[in-house]
Every structure is written in C-alpha cells, then in structure tokens.
Amino acid sequence: MAPACRLGLLLAVLLPMGGATTPGTVVRLNKAVLSYVSDLGRVPLQRALQVTVPHFLDRRGEELQPTRVQILNVQVPRLHLKFIADFGVRLLAAANFTFKVFRVPEPLELVLPVVLLADARVAQGSIGTPVVSISSCFSLFNNAIVLSGGHSTTPALLVRLQQHVRAVLRNKLCLSVSNLVQGLNVHLGTLIGLKPVGPESQIRYFMITAPSITDDYISLDVNAVLFLLGKPIVLPVDATPFLLPEQVGTSGAMATVGLSQDLFDSALLLLQKAGALNLDITGQLKSDYNPLNTSVLGQLIPEVARQFPEPMPVVLKVQLGGTPVVTLHPNNATLQLQPFVEVLAVASNSAFHSLFSFHVVVNLRLQLSVSKAKLQGTTSVLGEVQLFVDSSNVGFIDVDQVQALMGAVFEKPLLDHLNALLGIGVALPNVVNLRYVTPEILVQEGYVVISSGLLYQH
C-alpha cells in the first residue's frame, strides 16, 4: 500500500465513533492508541519527507556553479501525537535529514536536524466519512552537523548551503504532510463501503455528526444501516438515540466500541426478512438412529400409524414468523425465537402430507466474540424447548408425549443452523486492513461494549 495509506493510521486509527441514531454504534479511540499509531506512521512519514532538493549555486571564483544536492536518508527517531480538544490531532516529529552535496573535488555530507509541527483538524465529510485537513504546519531547524568533506568547506559556504536547504524544506515538508493527509482521506472513505453480512445482505456505516474530541479520546457519531437486496432494513418503531457512558470498557484499551440494542434488533430483523432462519429438518430411513419417521410418530399418535402402516420419512418445515428478540442485561445476552413448525410425512407417491403443526418458544444463551473486524455469535439452549400445537390432521395430540421427541429432533439442527449464520458475523466499523485484536466483550443493560486493541495490516 502507498505510504499515504499506511500513514493513514496516523490519523485514521484516530477515528472512532460516538453516540448515534438508529441503530447506534459508538467507538472511542483512547490515548493508548497514539503510541501504536506513532510507531506505525514513522516509516511512511520518513518516505514522504524524502523530497527533491534543487541545485545549490556554489560560488567558485567569479562564477556561480550549480551543485547537485541530494537527500540520502531521512530518519524520524521521534513521532508524537496528542489529541486537541474540540479540534483534532497534533503531530510533533523530530527528523534527521542526511544530505550529500556533490562538490568538486570533495563531496560534502551533513545531517540537518528538523522538528516538524502540524495540527490536523478532523471533521465530518459531505458523504458521511471522516475528513482530515492540515490547519497549521511549520518546521524548526537546528544547525547542520558535517559528516565528511568539511575540511574544504568554509563557514560562509556552510551557512549559505544551510539557508538553501532550509528554504527548500520549509516549503516542501508541510506540503508533503498535506499530501499524505489527502491520501489518508481516500483511505478513510472505505469506512462507508458496503460490507457483506450474507449472500444478499450488507451493512454500511457512516457519520451523522461532527466528531467529538477531548484531550483523552476522539469519537464519531456513526449510523449503521443494514440492506437486504439493496433495500434498507428499518426498525418498526423509532428507537432511542444511543449514547455510550463515559466510564465504560477496559482501562488502557486502544478502542472502546459500543453497540446498541437497536443494532442487534436490526441484524435479527434482516435475518428474518431474508428467510435465513428458515430450515427443513429431514429424517432418513436408512440412518442408524432415525426418530423422524412415521413409525416412531405412530407410537405416540395412533392416527399416524393408521395412515402410514409402512415407515416413511418425516420432514419438519421450520419458518420464523415473528422477529427474534435479543435481550441485553449485565453480563447476560439472551435470544428468543418463536418459529412455526409444520410436520410433513412423505407419502408413497413422494407427495408431502401435512400431519400437524406447532409453535415453538426457544430461549437461547447468546455468546458474542470478535474475529478480525466482525462480531460473531454462538448460541446454546436455555431451559426446555416449549411446544404448542397449532393444528392437526391426525386427531388429538398429547403435547407431553410429543414434546420429548420433537424437542430432541428440533433442537440440534436449529442450533447448528443458527450458529452457522451467526458465525458469518457482522462487520464492525473499520477501514480497510484494520483489525480488532485481543477484544474483551462486556454485556451491559441495553448495549454491548467491546474493548480492543487494533492491528493495521497492509
């Protein structure tokens, strides 16, 4: 990746998200991220500062001779960043420029120490992305240190040479930093890109207000919109704007990400509308253990045995009619599903024959995790699966007798299917090549907090 994009984390990683509308997501990047960003940005900054220096007019006798001047190396031993409340980020860099002056008969090498100061404003772009701009920038120069060739160099020549180099760097260094920032803004634009959730669904984040910046963190208001077949998923009721409390998350974490109840509700509504939670559970007669057949059902429901004297496969057609409900309490996330199940038998002519149908109430424990830049989940059953008969074509059904069988054949396939879906994950707010590392997840009342480190890989 180009140096501008790598240095993107200099300020890009400084782009969190704070309080938003429906469904709200809040990310704060704390002071802990600054040292990582400084280390990451040192090399691309060195490359950006390796500018071209025009020839120096060296007086030899009565004539001025153009003499080539080249920057051999730029080292940035120190790069410091700090937040500026209500503004953005301040950059302080100490750089050493090694020059070679191709004089005749003896070349001259010298090191010029420079301190670079720049203030960068972080604002909201017109398309909902963070925009960084350099508002002020200047350089402070120390005296050059001669490495070689100084024996044939007069003090006056050295003064003129330093004046030449300083005049060039004073203009070019800040321009180089500004160009880096322009490249950074392109990188930051990937925040709003559509990220897949499933085969036909995506999620998109974008800023809705100007960033909130303190001396301790910077945050952005971000809205998350989920799409199904290109159409946004809209919650049926207006949700309360989400504000992340100040003192949450793990102390010392680079990023603190708050995910509101509304984000979970939108994701589950998307799965429901997409039909992703529907499934068919089929029994195979040749299986060593096959409770899904008319022979087993006939032992519990006499009319099934009468209609199907020969064992035939049974299919459970599971459809999720109601929206799943996620509940977030301190250290406890649960999910309730209420699917409708139709029990079908395969007749001798391969046609499906409806036996009966029932509603199910399943309470699940929801365990959340983060992989790279995605929030994932796994579920396990809490308590018993509850069945309520809806209709029957096989006469009276003793729910207590059928409960054990239906619960056994229904529970595992449902969990396998649901966990496969939740394992795909939903993208968290991020820019290209940025990952969450060593995350800690804490469930609070009505929201989830992720405290995490960050890793930028190019």
Alpha-carbon span 37 to 454, nearest angstrom: 10
User: Given this structure, which CATH class describes domain 3-14+30-190?
Assistant: alpha beta
Q: Are 234 and 222 in contact (CB under 8 A)?
A: no
pTM of the predicted model as reported, rounded to 2 decimal places: 0.85
- The predicted-structure confidence for 19-37, as pLDDT tens digits, reads as follows 334 678 988 999 999 889 8
Tokens of 108: 């001259």
Does pLDDT of 259 surpass 50? Answer: yes
In the prediction, which pLDDT does 199 show? 79
- The predicted-structure confidence for 73-86, as pLDDT tens digits, reads as follows 999 999 999 999 99
Mean pLDDT of 163-170: 91
Q: In whole numbers, what is the pLDDT of the chain averaged over residues? A: 87
- Which residue, among 435, 129, 418, 450, has the nearest Cα to 260 in the 3D structure? 450
Alpha-carbon span 458 to 441, nearest angstrom: 26
Task: Please give the DSSP secondary-structure letter assigned to residue 293.
Answer: B
Q: How far is CA 253 from CA 257, 368, 384, 436, in A?
A: 10, 18, 39, 11
Supply φ then ψ for residue 258, to 5 degrees.
-110, 130
Lowest-confidence segment of 128-132, 146-150, 355-359, 454-458 by average pLDDT: 146-150
* Amino acid, single-letter form, for residue 103: R
Q: Are 449 and 442 in contact (CB under 8 A)?
A: yes
Tell whether the torsion through CA atoms of 417, 419, 421 and 424 is positive or negative: negative
| Helix residue ranges per DSSP H, 289-398 | 294-300, 302-307
User: Given this structure, which CATH class describes domain 259-456?
Assistant: alpha beta
Q: Using pLDDT thresholds of 50, 70 and 90, give the confidence band for residue 3.
A: very low
In the prediction, which pLDDT does 157 show? 79
- The predicted-structure confidence for 307-366, as pLDDT tens digits, reads as follows 999 888 899 999 987 889 999 999 999 999 999 999 999 887 778 899 999 999 999 999
- Per this entry, what is the length of the chain? 458
Going from N- to C-terminal start, the domains of the chain cover 3-14+30-190, 259-456
The residue whose two tokens read 């599903």 is 337
In the prediction, which pLDDT does 62 show? 62
Identical fold, 3-14+30-190 and 259-456: no
Alpha-carbon span 273 to 228, nearest angstrom: 8
Supply φ then ψ for residue 290, to 5 degrees.
-135, 85
Does pLDDT of 12 surpass 60? Answer: no
